[in-house]
Amino acid sequence: MLKLFFSYPFPSDLVNSPVSFAFIVPKKMIPKANQRNRIKRILREFVRLNKHILISKVKERGGALVIAIKWDSKDMPLKEEIEPVLAAFFDKVIAYIETRTSV
């Protein structure tokens, strides 16, 4: 359903904020633009509500975090299906950041 990638520590002089996101919904997977936009809206809304956790962790450790979220399914999702996957991914990223030494 989702492919999730992140890079930490990322050189902070290459990005404007401590945490940056990229949302990728390929046209081959979802041909209709309105459906692609709906998926990106769901992803952006989750990130908007939960990014403060990542920002605080990255600011504690220094550096920057870059996350790419790619939709990898031909099915239209429900918000309730995506949120647990993203929440688990955010938890893994936080655990990874906490194990890293500061930059």
Q: Give the domain CATH number at 35.
A: 3.30.230.10
Q: For the residues 39-52, what does the mean pLDDT come to?
A: 94
Q: Provide the residue range defining the domain that includes 73.
A: 2-99
Q: For the residues 78-100, what does the mean pLDDT come to?
A: 90
Confidence of residue 78 (pLDDT cuts 50, 70, 90): confident
Q: For the residues 11-25, what does the mean pLDDT come to?
A: 83
Check: CB of residue 103 under 8 Å from CB of residue 62: yes
Nearest to 64 by CA among 88, 100, 91: 100
Q: Compute the residue count for the chain.
A: 103
pLDDT reported for residue 30:
92
Number of domains comprising the chain: 1
Check: CB of residue 69 under 8 Å from CB of residue 24: yes
pLDDT reported for residue 1:
74
Determine the Cα–Cα distance for residues 78 and 8; give it in Å rounded to an integer.
29
Confidence of residue 68 (pLDDT cuts 50, 70, 90): very high
Beta pairing partners, 7: 66
